[in-house]
């Protein structure tokens, strides 16, 4: 193979292996296979183009190599980076220039191949290692549920608490809050999520028995079992988990009912530019139809329709049910949003006002159905995390735009509501988090609504910098250091 062609192939393999290695929880092996096929197709076409340029316009070959390598770096990897577009382009350009420099330096073929093999093996090795789970997983901390009341855990995407809405968006009249209060809910003014993303929050909510640290511990929650599923199913409950995306990768063998797979889901969270074409609507649909026998796209309306059907199933069944559902609406900031871009922040701050009517309608449909067909049920509704208005800030370090409390409310400040209003008043109280909310529900179903001081600290703690910390301690620590 000609030196430039070899460099293009090897550079493409290296840059494509990096995000796969860091995405063990996001990508299934089948999806990695799809990306590998797309990579092979793209690089084959590019090699043919570069060969033609070398043969018929030799002086342009070096420039073509730089451009192709930079383009691949952008589309295979840097398009997924949480940074402004110009930073992504700059990183891709630097990669392309580095490849061009290697071409001019006439690096030995054996060195290029060895370097490529090492980096590709590191990336794929990390992916494989993090997906390897113990053959016999033991679920710790399961609790007995001494109740036959149906329980509904309904989460909503990026939905803030009343306090966070006031502080970050200057919104105080919130239609869905008004509706929920009228419907008999107790709404916390300040509630907090277990973590800062949907997956991380749900891993901690479901696996409430211990603080999860390793990738294997986190992945095993959805694949091998967790304290929530085990507690309810061993107590005679059926369990259903309803979410329109494969993002959480829940093993349907762990539940009585799970939402059907929706195909090549990773494009839900990525730019259409990822791998040039695989996330374009038509390509995505064809991939999903060929490999998953589905069109790969499910809207919130369709998801809620399915949820309402399953609510009626649970209500009619003499056996008790735990129903967990995540409604993927509204949304958070895009990956290229920046906290220090005043125009972007101002523009995003206008969006929540436009979402409120739809959020209220969703709650009216879901809660209204539960109350109509299952009036004795316990309902806990919560946001999975905040809207990430402070995206780009690594921690609760104050700056010219946001202070530590802004960061905490933006990332963690979420709606928490409980029905009936008098259920679990002490364990789910102001400044509670969702970290052990399932544990609190079980204890209250068992007649224990008197938390100890140690339990209160646990109830008010979140995952921050890989530690379990109270929200107050995060803000206080930052205040002391500044």
pLDDT per residue over 93-104, tens digit each?
999 999 999 999
- The Cα–Cα gap between 250 and 39 comes to 28
482 has pLDDT over 70: no
Letter string b/e over residues 345-373, b meaning 16 or more CB atoms within 10 A of that residue's CB: beebeeebeeebeebbebbeebbebbeeb
463 has pLDDT over 90: yes
Q: Considering the chain, what percentage of its residues have pLDDT values greater than 70? A: 98
Q: What is the pTM of this model?
A: 0.91
DSSP annotation of 160: B
24 has pLDDT over 90: no
Domain ranges of the chain: 3-131, 151-262+298-481
β-strand partners of 470 = 461
Taking all residues of the chain, what is their mean pLDDT, rounded to a whole number?
A: 93
Per the listing, tokens 């299934």 go with: 28
- Region of 263 on the Ramachandran plot (φ > 0 left; ψ -120 to 50 alpha; else beta): left
Of 375, 300, 367, the residue nearest 330 (C-alpha): 300
How large is the average pLDDT for residues 159-164?
A: 98
- The Cα–Cα gap between 66 and 93 comes to 8
Of 228, 182, 192, the residue nearest 419 (C-alpha): 182
Per the listing, tokens 């030799």 go with: 58
pLDDT digits (tens, 9 = 90+) for 283-340: 988 988 888 777 766 789 999 999 999 999 999 999 999 999 999 999 999 988 999 9
More confident position, 134 or 211:
211
Of 425, 413, 327, the residue nearest 367 (C-alpha): 327
264 has pLDDT over 90: no
The CATH code that applies to domain 151-262+298-481 is 3.40.720.10
pLDDT digits (tens, 9 = 90+) for 371-425: 999 999 999 999 999 999 999 998 999 999 999 999 999 999 999 999 999 999 9
pLDDT digits (tens, 9 = 90+) for 190-201: 999 999 999 999
């Amino acid at each position: 193979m000609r030196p430039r062609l070899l460099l293009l192939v090897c550079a493409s393999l290296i840059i494509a292996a990096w995000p796969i290695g860091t995405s063990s929880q996001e990508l299934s092996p089948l999806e990695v296979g799809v990306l590998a096929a797309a990579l092979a197709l793209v690089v084959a076409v590019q090699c043919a183009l570069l060969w033609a340029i070398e043969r018929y316009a030799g002086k342009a070959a070096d420039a073509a190599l730089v451009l192709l390598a930079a383009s691949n770096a952008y589309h295979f990897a840097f398009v997924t980076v949480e940074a402004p577009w110009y930073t992504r382009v700059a990183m891709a350009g630097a990669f392309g220039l580095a490849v061009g420099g290697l071409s001019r330096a006439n690096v030995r073929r054996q060195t290029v191949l060895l370097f490529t093999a090492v980096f590709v093996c590191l990336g794929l090795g990390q992916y494989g290692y993090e997906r390897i789970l113990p053959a016999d997983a033991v679920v710790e901390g399961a609790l007995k549920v001494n109740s036959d009341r149906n329980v509904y855990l309904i989460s909503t995407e990026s939905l803030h608490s009343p306090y966070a809405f006031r502080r970050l968006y200057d919104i105080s009249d919130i239609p869905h809050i008004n509706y929920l209060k009228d419907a008999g809910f107790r709404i916390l003014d300040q509630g907090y999520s277990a973590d800062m993303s949907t997956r991380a929050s749900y891993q901690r909510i479901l696996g409430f028995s211990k603080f999860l640290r390793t990738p294997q511990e986190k992945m095993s929650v959805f694949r091998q079992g967790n304290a929530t599923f085990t507690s309810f199913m061993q107590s005679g409950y059926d369990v259903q988990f309803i979410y329109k995306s494969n993002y959480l990768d829940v093993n349907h063998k762990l539940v009585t009912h799970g939402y059907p797979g929706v195909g090549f889901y990773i494009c839900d969270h990525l730019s259409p530019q990822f791998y040039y074409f695989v996330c374009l609507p038509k390509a995505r649909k064809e991939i999903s139809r060929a490999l998953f026998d589905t069109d790969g796209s499910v809207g919130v309306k369709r998801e809620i329709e399915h949820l309402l059907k399953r609510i009626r199933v649970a209500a009619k069944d003499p056996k008790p049910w735990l129903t967990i559902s995540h409604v993927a609406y509204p949304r958070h900031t895009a990956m290229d949003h920046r906290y220090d871009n005043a125009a972007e922040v101002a523009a995003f701050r206008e969006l929540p006002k436009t979402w409120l009517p739809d959020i209220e309608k969703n709650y009216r449909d879901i809660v209204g159905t539960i109350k109509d067909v299952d009036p004795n049920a316990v309902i806990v509704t919560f946001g999975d995390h905040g809207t990430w208005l402070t995206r780009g800030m690594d921690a609760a370090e104050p700056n010219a735009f946001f202070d530590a409390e802004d960061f905490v409310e933006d990332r963690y400040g979420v709606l928490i509501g409980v029905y009936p209003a008098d259920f679990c008043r002490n364990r789910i109280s102001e400044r509670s988090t969702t970290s052990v909310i399932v544990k609190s529900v079980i204890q209250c179903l068992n007649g224990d609504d008197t938390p100890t001081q140690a339990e209160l600290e646990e109830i008010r703690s979140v995952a921050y910098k890989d530690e379990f910390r109270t929200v107050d301690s995060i803000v206080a620590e930052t205040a002391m250091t500044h």
